[in-house]
């Protein structure tokens, strides 16, 4: 096997103990051996997901009034396409501090919202949010999405 300095190991090179020692100039003393792990792995470092999921309202367009029977469509996506949690809540009564109601708890739509549905899209899901009997007052929605790496939407 050829001797290579650890900084120029060819990708995919399989090393044995003696080759590792020889890679540092032929010394048989492994005590001072320093390994460049990225070179041993072929220069491939594991991906680190630091991107938070995106929650985007598809319809109605921003600034458009939400009427009693308006469906609200929301896309939740992440570069990984996998999630720990996706939750939706609604506050009825516009900007007045009112109670929040859970629409989707991460697993199912709650009874008042059972006509809502979710479909898979690229890297996530599209939610169509509906309330049985319609929205009794202007709704304000809250979404929480956490991907598998623990990144959370803002």
Check which CATH number belongs to the domain holding 122 and give it.
2.60.40
Residues 35 and 58 occupy one common structural domain? no
Residue 154 falls within a domain, yes or no? no
- Tokens 């009427």, residue located: 67
142/85 same-domain check: yes
pTM of the prediction? Answer: 0.67
CA separation, residue 70 to residues 62, 74, 112 (Å): 13, 13, 15
Q: Which of 98, 92, 144 is nearest to 113 (CA)?
A: 92
Confidence at residue 143, expressed as pLDDT on a 0 to 100 scale: 95
Q: How do residues 13-72 score in pLDDT, each as one tens digit? A: 333 333 333 333 444 444 443 334 334 445 555 567 889 999 999 999 988 999 999 999
Domain presence at residue 46? no
CA 87 to chain CA centroid, Å, is 14
In whole angstroms, give the CA distance from residue 119 to residue 127: 7
Structural domain tally of the chain?
A: 2
Range of the domain at 32: 6-40
Do both 114 and 138 map to the same domain?
A: yes
């Amino acid at each position: 096997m050829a001797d290579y300095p650890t900084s120029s190991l060819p990708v995919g090179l399989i090393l044995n103990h003696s080759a590792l020692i020889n890679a540092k100039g032929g010394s048989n003393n492994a005590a001072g051996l320093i390994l460049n792990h990225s070179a041993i792995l072929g220069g491939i470092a594991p991906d680190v997901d630091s991107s938070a999921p995106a929650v985007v309202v598809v319809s109605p367009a921003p600034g458009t009034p939400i009427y009693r029977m308006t469906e609200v469509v929301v896309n939740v996506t992440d570069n990984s396409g996998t999630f720990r949690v996706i939750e939706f809540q609604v506050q009825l009564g516009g900007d007045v501090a009112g109670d929040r109601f859970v629409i989707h708890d991460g697993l199912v739509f709650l009874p008042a919202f059972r006509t809502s549905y979710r479909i898979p899209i690229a890297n996530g899901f599209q939610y169509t949010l509906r309330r049985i009997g319609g929205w009794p007052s202007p709704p304000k929605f809250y979404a929480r999405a956490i991907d598998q790496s623990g990144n959370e939407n803002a």
